[in-house]
A and B are shown apart, each in its own frame.
Chain A
Amino acid sequence: MFVTWGYRFRNSLMDKTDPRARWIFSLCFLFSIVQFWDIRFLLVFFALAAVWYAISRVTFHETRRAWTFVFFLMSMMIIVNTIITSGGAAGVVVGPGHPVFELNFQIPLVHREVSFVLTIERLWFALTQVVRILPISGIFLIIPFTMDPRLYGFTFKGLGFPDRFAFSMDLAFRYVPTLARDFSATLDAQKARGYEIERVEGGLITQVRRVAPLIIPVTMSSILGGEDMINAMDLRCFGLRARTWVYTTSYHWFDYLLIVFSVVMLVTSVVLSILGYGRFWVPPALIS
């Protein structure tokens, strides 16, 4: 049996908006925000995303798991890749920077010198990353909770995808909760047989051997389950002619307004970026 996304009708402004217009806005928002690394510009997008999120009427209780994961992932990314190693800041933060913390030590036995320098620029970049990631997460995280799954296929078709590809995308999004449930069930079954996920450690080969008991059964059972879907679709003559959809939508004036706003936002962002605005910026007061 399929597990479904946590969608429910909230009678919000977002429910009245055509899903195609919402996807266009979300994608334009994404392509616009990635033009900038200046926190002053990013805060505008942050505010816009906050308004969009508020309109959705999605509660924190519904999305707390997703937000927990986003915060955990973001923390790992920023702590490991920006604060400790600066790999994630490559190409954006240029120059040696202004040190705020330095640590030099020698690794015993191998006598290797290690020098760690934390700069104001890297710390500010970490903050900038947070301000950049949170709006993107907010815009896309609410989609499964606010978009009727019965409209996925029609929406992707309406965005210009061919019938079969649109249906494949529809199926993929619908399969995600089911596969997550199957993965959890497989994990529990393997744990009952003595498998310990917490002990996925050791060398790479050992890690592969420990991960395989999870990936193999889930993959094979999904493929076997797909056979039933294929038979059902073949019996209904899938693909013989242009597909029609049971559930459809139509544009209203506010959908056109949203699409125009999205396109203007994107074009403005691209133009500003080409003109050199929105580069990484650190408040002069911090580095003077």
Chain B
Amino acid sequence: MQAAGTVQKKKLWSFGTREVVYAAIGAALYGVLAWLTNVIQIPSAGNVSVRPAVAIPMFFGVAFGPIVGFISGFLGNIISDLLSGYGFWFWWDLGNGLMGLFPGLIYLTITRYRDRTAILRAEVMVFVGVIVGMGVAAISEMWVSGVDFGTTFLVNFLPAVITNLIWGLILVPVLMVAYDAVVSRSGR
């Protein structure tokens, strides 16, 4: 048990009570908000939809760690797909999980969420996360759907990366600033 007045040291890969709850909240949030926008399909893309909610797993990764970010993206995409009738697409779920995991890697470096350097680091990791996550998901279509590299690059990778990057790069800093205000008030 911690002595009164001491602050528990953050650990990058911890999965305690706090992380369990926030992973669940992140997944449910992402699932619901993504489900609501799944009707907005990007024309001539392989069933890729416009999804502002993609910022949720990225933000949850930054705020609560890579495991929370991963579960928010992975499980959230499962929930969204189940609600929309898409079924279960493991590689796209994994890709969404990676989009939440990579921003979470800077979790320990952030002391104030509205600092310019913190936001800049988050933006860089959002970029990396989207490229890696959507890259994995798009490449998987080569053996799942039987498409060639060129087709999956144009039809799956590019539309998903462009839209997710735009939503992530704009909304994640907004969420970080809003969360900074919440943290300041609650003292956590």
Contact = CB atoms under 8 A, between A and B. Distances in A.
A219 B26 CA distance: 8
Interface in A48-91: 66, 69-70, 72-74, 76-77, 80-81, 84-88, 90-91
A207 B40 CA distance: 13
A30 B148 CA distance: 24
B24 A85 contact: no
29 contacts: A31-B88, A69-B83, A76-B41, A85-B43, A88-B47, A136-B86, A140-B85, A164-B15, A168-B21, A168-B24, A168-B27, A168-B71, A168-B75, A172-B28, A172-B31, A172-B75, A183-B36, A208-B52, A208-B171, A211-B52, A215-B171, A218-B33, A220-B179, A223-B63, A229-B21, A230-B18, A230-B21, A233-B17, A239-B16
A173 interface: yes
Contacts of A81: 41, 43-47
Nearest to B24: A171
Contact of A84 (B17, B43, B47, B56): B43
Contacts of A223: 22, 25, 63, 179, 182
A207 to B, nearest CB: 8
B117 interface: no
Given A87-B45, A90-B46, A220 B178 contact: yes
B145 to A, nearest CB: 5
B5 interface: no
A140 B29 CA distance: 19
A215 B43 contact: no
Contacts, number: 180
A96 B21 CA distance: 51
B124 interface: no
B141 interface: yes
Interface of A: 27, 30-31, 33-34, 66, 69-70, 72-74, 76-77, 80-81, 84-88, 90-92, 133-134, 136-137, 140-141, 143, 164-165, 167-173, 175-176, 178-180, 183, 204-205, 207-208, 211-212, 215-216, 218-220, 222-227, 229-230, 233-234, 238-239
B87 A34 contact: yes
Contacts of A227: 186, 188
B94 interface: no
Contacts of B29: 179, 218-219, 222
Contact of B85 (A90, A133, A225): A133
B17 A238 contact: yes
A212 B15 contact: no
A11 B167 CA distance: 46
B38 A86 contact: no
A137 B84 CA distance: 8
B85 A173 contact: no
Interface string B152-185: 1001000000000011001100110011001000
B53 A87 contact: no
Given A81-B47, A172-B79, A179-B29, 17 more contacts: A30-B88, A69-B83, A77-B47, A87-B43, A133-B85, A140-B88, A171-B24, A172-B31, A172-B76, A204-B166, A208-B166, A208-B170, A211-B52, A223-B179, A230-B21, A234-B17, A239-B17
